[in-house]
Structure formats: C-alpha cells, structure tokens
Amino acid sequence: MLRAVLQRLGGVLVVMLLVATTVFVISRVIPGDPAGVMLGSVATPEDIARLRRELGLDQPLLTQYFAFLGQVVRLDLGTSMFIGQPVTTAMLERAPLTLSLCVLATVMSVIVGLPLGILAGVWRGSLVDRAATLLALGGASLPSFWIGLILIRFLAAGLGWFPISGWGEPDAAFAERLHHLVLPAIVLALPNAVLLLRTTRAGMIEVMSQDYVRTARAKGLGPWAVVVKHALRNTLLPLVTVIGLTVAMLIGRTIVAETVFGLPGLGNLVIGGVLRRDYPVIQGVLMAISGIYVLINLAIDLLYMRLDPRLRGKIA
C-alpha cells in the first residue's frame, strides 16, 4: 500500500512538471511580447526593454525555463502588475471563498443525487424513478448562468430569502458567509447532482440484478441491508470517480457562478486576469487548477484501493 502511494506521488510530480512546462511554453509562444502587453500601447521602447530585463525575458529560453521552474517549486508564481500583488497571495486570499463554494456544492449534490439515484435504481420505473429522470433532464439541459439568474430573480430579489450578490462584509460571521453561498452553490451543485443521480441509478440497476444481491435476499436480509450493505458498496467505485471528477470540474465552473453572483473568488480572479491579459495571474491559476485536478485524481486512486479489496496491494 505504502509503495503504491509513493509510486502515485512520483506520478503526480511528473505530471506537475509537464503542466509547468506546458504553461511556460504557452506563455512564450502566444503572440505579443508580455512586457509590451503589460505596459500597454503608450509605453516607450526603453520602458519595455527595462521591463524585459526585470522579467528576465532577455535571457536564453532555457535559462528562463529553469528560472520559472525554480519559482514554481518555491510557490512563487510571479507578481501581477494590475492587482499589485504576488499571484500566490492573490490566490490564497480568494481561495477560501471558492473552496467553501465547492465544498458546499459537492455536499448538496451528494445529498440530492445519491439518495435519489439509489431510489430510482432500486425502484426502476416507479414514480420516484420518473420524477428523478425528469429532474435529471431539467438539470442537465438548463444552463448554469440562466438558473443562477432565475434564482436571483425569485429567491433573492423576489422573496428576499437570500442576498442578491457579494460575500458580505470583510468581517462577516461564518453563518452569514454561508448564507451568501447558498444560491451559487445550488447553481454549481445541480449539474453535478444530475450526473451523480444518473451514475448511481445505472450502478444500482446493474448491481441489483447481480447474483450476490440475490444471495443477500436469500439470507433473509431486509431491503435496507440488501441495498446499503450489499448493493451500494459495489457501486461505490464509479461514484467515487464521478464525485472526484465533478469536484475537479467545479474549480473551473465556479467562474460562471462567481461572475453571476459577484463573488470575489478565484473564478473572479481568472476572469479579470484573462480580460486584462494578466499573464502571471493566468499562469498561476492554471498551475493551481492543474494541481488540484492531479491531487483529486490521486485521491480517487487511493480511495479505489481503500474501497475495493480486489485492488488492494495491486499497483496498476
């Protein structure tokens, strides 16, 4: 087990090196001189040349590459001239909001998707199943930004149950923060809940017809024990995969939710960075998102080994 973990961690390092390399290459091949872009159209050639020197852009590419890698290892992702902050600091400031949003959305999607998927799968063709399928269809076909606007229109502006936008005062209490996050979390959770519902339903339908489920019934176990102890356990692997991947995708999808609800999170930082061609910010966020993706995949792999006795001790 320990060997497998170490081996996976080695893999993570290799992937991160590739990501860093890709980020570096992209930043050097895109048209336009970063220094020129940063200083804008009014800059003099002298200004640009000075900034190029400061940024190390006059060095050979290989030297630049290793300097960049050295920075990444030290978690120094450069300084953004537009926001006047080191990128790492800017990201750390905004990370709590985005991470809370992702956690809340994931909890919501699991609370809704998992039980509905189980019920729909076990009672296939029943009223619950049909209602769940309808919900899934709606959730999958309505775009997030539209749902966000509708929620704001009716639940926030209309009924006044939730704040319309923002994140509250800088020193707001946890409960108030949470209150601000409910609607954006719903927007993020809906497509994930749908995906989870469908995966759970399909998994349950398959597993409920397995011989070992019949064995469980033949033992005289009640429906709860049959479903939860014997059937659900066997559908966990695909569910872990789906939950992991949806969490990873959330990081990107928060951009829409944060924009619609005016939340100063990582997504907001990305949008600003892209609009201003703020390369250090884009690079930093790209590195961070890739890192989270890789770590989530690592977590899925390790959970697999934990959950499935057939994979334990095997190094795939």
Touching other proteins, residues 229-288 (CB under 8 A): 229-230, 233-234
Which listed residue (6, 107, 210, 306) binds other proteins by CB under 8 A? Answer: 210
Note whether 130 binds other proteins by CB under 8 A: no
The smaller minimum CB distance to other proteins, of residues 200 and 268, is found at 200
Q: Would you put residue 160 in left (φ > 0), alpha (ψ -120 to 50) or beta?
A: left
Contact (Cβ atoms closer than 8 angstroms) between residue 197 and residue 136? yes
Note whether 21 binds other proteins by CB under 8 A: no
Question: Considering only 63-71, 99-107, 264-272, 301-309, which stretch makes contact with other proteins by CB under 8 A?
Answer: 301-309
The smaller minimum CB distance to other proteins, of residues 4 and 221, is found at 221
311 C-beta neighbours (distance < 10 Å), count: 15
What string of DSSP letters covers 112-173?
A: HHHHHHHHHHHTTTSHHHHHHHHHHHHHHHS-HHHHHHHHIIIIIIIS--S-SSS---TT--
The smaller minimum CB distance to other proteins, of residues 75 and 205, is found at 205
How many residues sit in the footprint of other proteins (CB under 8 A)?
Answer: 21
Residue 209, token pair as written in the block = 């017809």
Amino acid identity, position 261? F
Quote the distance between the C-alpha of residue 167 and its chain's center: 20
Amino acid identity, position 279? Y
Question: Considering only 4-12, 98-106, 153-161, 208-216, which stretch makes contact with other proteins by CB under 8 A?
Answer: 208-216
Task: List alpha helices for 209-265, DSSP H.
Answer: 211-218, 223-224, 233-260
The smaller minimum CB distance to other proteins, of residues 45 and 220, is found at 220
The smaller minimum CB distance to other proteins, of residues 146 and 212, is found at 212
The smaller minimum CB distance to other proteins, of residues 145 and 212, is found at 212
Question: Any idea which residue has 């014997």 for tokens?
Answer: 230
Give the C-alpha separation, 38 to 33, whole Å: 9
Note whether 310 binds other proteins by CB under 8 A: yes
The smaller minimum CB distance to other proteins, of residues 7 and 209, is found at 209
Tell me the per-residue interface mask from 211 to 230 with other proteins, x by CB under 8 A, - otherwise. Answer: xx-xxxxxxxxx--x---xx
Give the C-alpha separation, 228 to 236, whole Å: 11
The smaller minimum CB distance to other proteins, of residues 74 and 314, is found at 314
What minimum distance in Å lies between the beta carbon of 231 and other proteins?
Answer: 9
Give the C-alpha separation, 213 to 225, whole Å: 10
Element (H, E) at 46: helix 45-55
What minimum distance in Å lies between the beta carbon of 202 and other proteins?
Answer: 18
Question: Considering only 83-91, 250-258, 262-270, 304-312, which stretch makes contact with other proteins by CB under 8 A?
Answer: 304-312
* Residues engaged in binding other proteins (CB under 8 A): 210-212, 214-222, 225, 229-230, 233-234, 307-310
